[in-house]
Structure 1
């Protein structure tokens, strides 16, 4: 099957009927509600592994498949119906080691579910800021670099290696899942959007978000607040925030000791801290980052957070991060 045969269904924010689309049953396996109830002991509350917005994610076990994550769309609004269908139709056609694998879906009356492979280490957000971080041991710098590289490869894949380039539009640490080997899997494709086929990949037109889109402001590029539009370079900016979050081990928006809300980008690059390694890096990494690696890494972070015209492509980001990884490994070898 050719990639994205039904993409016109979600190319615009305006409502469209589904009559011109291939039924989603033809994209992937459809589960019955009874199968998902059995997999989750009747959607037992203790099996909820995450909850964000109008969605709950349960850990379940499907006979013949194993552990799965089951995302339940709790709302019945048309916007979330579109999000559900977009996520199913895109994920069933994306096959990459850094994209969360889709198992199937369930649509029963007003209840809608998306079923994925279960990713055992939870989200990057939880691993950095929560309680599942290897028993409280911070991630090493090599582990963090590998995570950055994997996420960059996944984002590069959906934009440059699919038939039709796609923007994710919700790049944030909570939408990066980590498997048992800490391999990152980009997740939550319900808000993504394709670019028109007639446009060139490097400079597609900027597109508008749905009016009722729930966004995480701390990951949004500054230009959004003036134009209310996003582009592929918006994902690059958001990934820059994620990289900074990984480096500093601070939330993208956090409370200061005085109780004020502080954005990580502003905090890390204010006059007091800009360029000062010890003032922004996670204390557990002090003395463990090779100077050459640090220079390459912080430069690509700053470029991702620059104005739209100055931001690199995700392919360039990937290559720079791979170089930073090699520089780090070189110093580790020299120290042996």
Structure 2
């Protein structure tokens, strides 16, 4: 679908705050894409901090280099088409987009420099169990919302370092399984990304889970939590073999049951 077709198909139900930005507007917002405004970069994507002159609102501007890269342009269009459809408090808000011959842009709510894993691994600011439980619920609610849209939206790279919307051709189970891996990262404070040949985080989890050493898998920088231990059962529930029928709705039911028991409700 062309860029104009995407925009025209959205206009009938569009919200006023989602709009198409000119290159000049984005250049002004980012001080002409100044290096000092770069938040992070990966592959052909560069994320800039920006300030919209019309509202003085701080935003993140994602710049995608699509010169001689048809697949990159196609991926950007898929991401845009998805973001134009969603409105949820746990999913980053799209303010607009822009396009020139060699580049494509997406304008989101401003988000901080560091990924979820950065905060999990940081010794300077250790996330409490309460903060981690809040994250888990937010992630689960966001995924459930995407899966219940018609047609469903499936994420093709759901992890603690970055979440990219690349394709809608994956199974819902792929997201649910990945959610289980992210849970392991949140509960252990360790990354699932490992060098080739090194034991995976899931292997470490399975070893601990089946040898009654679950407490050793949990982040040892925090006092043991019964609720965190119970959530490890969900990790196994969604990443175990033969569980392709599990949905995020079922996961949320189990999470609420654990939290209700924790608060005595």
Which consecutive residues of structure 2, in runs of 5 or more, have no partner in the other structure? none
Return the alpha-carbon distance in structure 2 between the equivalents of residues 104 and 266 of structure 1.
42
Aligned length: 257
Q: Deviations over 1:133-162 (max 9, x none)?
A: 8xx1211111101101110110000111x2
Return closer, same or farther for 1:92/1:281 CA change in 2, 3 Å cut-off.
same
Return the alpha-carbon distance in structure 2 between the equivalents of residues 273 and 37 of structure 1.
55
1:38 is aligned to 2:13: no
Q: Deviations over 1:261-310 (max 9, x none)?
A: 332111221269754133211112233x12xx244311111011112445
Aligned 1:298-317 pairs, distance under 5 A? 298-309=232-243, 312-317=246-251
Aligned 1:1-336 pairs, distance under 5 A? 9=1, 18=2, 21-23=5-7, 26=11, 28-63=18-53, 64-76=55-67, 77-120=69-112, 122-129=114-121, 136-160=124-148, 162-175=149-162, 187-189=163-165, 191-193=166-168, 207=169, 230-254=170-194, 261-270=198-207, 274-287=211-224, 289-290=225-226, 293-309=227-243, 312-330=246-264
Return the alpha-carbon distance in structure 2 between the equivalents of residues 311 and 170 of structure 1.
20
Q: What TM-score do the two structures reach when normalised by structure 1? A: 0.70
Q: Deviations over 1:180-234 (max 9, x none)?
A: xxxxxxx532x131xxxxxxxxxxxxx4xxxxxxxxxxxxxxxxxxxxxx41101
Kept in 2, the 8 Å contact 1:240–1:302? The answer is: yes
Let me know the Cα RMSD of the aligned residues.
2.6
Q: SS of the counterpart of 1:58? A: strand
Return closer, same or farther for 1:154/1:274 CA change in 2, 3 Å cut-off.
farther
Return the alpha-carbon distance in structure 1 between the equivalents of residues 245 and 127 of structure 2.
28
Return closer, same or farther for 1:137/1:274 CA change in 2, 3 Å cut-off.
farther
Return closer, same or farther for 1:124/1:113 CA change in 2, 3 Å cut-off.
same
Return the alpha-carbon distance in structure 2 between the equivalents of residues 115 and 145 of structure 1.
29
Kept in 2, the 8 Å contact 1:241–1:252? The answer is: yes
- Could you tell me how far 1:323 is from its partner in structure 2? 2.3
Q: SS of the counterpart of 2:97? A: strand
